[in-house]
Amino acid sequence: MDYIQHFASQSANYLHFRPTYPQALFSYLVSLIKTHDTAWDCATGNGQAAVALSHYFKQVIATDINPAQLTVAPKKNNIHYYAWPAEKTQIAAHTINLITIAQALHWLNFKRFYNEVKRVAAPNSIIAAWCYSLCTINPTIDIYIKKLYFQILGETYLPKEVKHIYNQYTSIPFPFTKQLTPQFFIEKEINLSQFIGYLQTWSAIKEYQMRLQKNPIDLILNDLTKAWGDANQSHRITWPIHLLVGYISHNS
């Protein structure tokens, strides 16, 4: 099952349940470049990063190979959505000041994507790619998150590409002038129903359901519910962000 199939179903869930990237991340990225004409948010999904970038750039080009995701993405006058593969777009050469790709680089053909990055990049532009790894809430609940992720899903149902997230993106080639970056975290207050909705967006959950016709979340649900306490009570959930940032050289 490839990444297009993983994210083609239940696209609206990504908008409602996926983590929200911190504003500090975008402020940092914008501070690295002098020109703020055009940003390209690649594999934009529900458009979350594109919307954040739209506050800083004259225009944002947001692309995704999955049209279903784009239908639920927020619309703004300076955001232009296109259903294009990351490795082959119709973006004009040397026009992009900032290229972002959130929680998606591991799905792509690196060589072909990086060639496209170099083609569209304007002088003194940067690329920023990031992922967030397994969340934590508190030790009592984290036990069941880890059980679901490592024991129930594990390598059998986790797509092979997810190993790059487990490795915090250190195993992904990155042929750009890499920068040292601050550490960022995603934090969100979430109740039990919202948390289960988030788990349901995991690609490995969908893979398990497709193969076995049952939901693996059910295997931890009773224990998770007891550990959570009042289902309406919100807990703070934290995801660490792993960030790659580099200046783009057309000679690299």
- Does residue 252 lie within any of the structural domains? no
d(CA 234, CA 225): 13
| Contacts of 27 by beta carbon, 8 Å cutoff, 6+ apart | none
174: CATH: 3.40.50.150
Which domain does 105 fall in, by range? 3-247
- Does residue 38 lie within any of the structural domains? yes
- Are the CB atoms for 119 and 206 separated by under 8 Å? no
pTM exceeds 0.95, yes or no: no
- Are the CB atoms for 217 and 200 separated by under 8 Å? yes
Digit-coded pLDDT (tens) for 164-177: 999 999 999 999 99
Q: What is the mean pLDDT of residues 66-79?
A: 93
- Does residue 149 lie within any of the structural domains? yes
pLDDT bracket for residue 69 (50, 70, 90): confident
- How many domains, the chain? 1
- Are the CB atoms for 130 and 22 separated by under 8 Å? no
Percent of all residues in the chain with a pLDDT value above 70, rounded to a whole number: 92
| Contacts of 247 by beta carbon, 8 Å cutoff, 6+ apart | 124, 125, 126, 176, 177, 179
| Helix/strand/coil for 76 | coil
Digit-coded pLDDT (tens) for 162-219: 899 999 999 999 999 999 999 999 999 999 999 999 999 898 999 999 999 999 999 9
Q: What is the mean pLDDT of the chain?
A: 92
C-alpha neighbours within 13 Å on the C-beta side of residue 109:
8
- List the alpha helices (DSSP H) in the chain: 3-8, 11-17, 23-31, 48-54, 67-71, 110-120, 139-146, 154-157, 163-166, 192-199, 203-212, 218-228
Residue 71 has pLDDT above 80, yes or no: yes
Task: Write out the two tokens for 119.
Answer: 């083609």
- Does residue 68 lie within any of the structural domains? yes
The whole-number pLDDT of residue 251 equals 62
Residue 17 has pLDDT above 70, yes or no: no
Digit-coded pLDDT (tens) for 142-172: 999 999 999 999 989 988 998 999 999 999 9
Residue 7 has pLDDT above 60, yes or no: no
Of residues 41, 60, 48, the one with CA closest to residue 11: 48
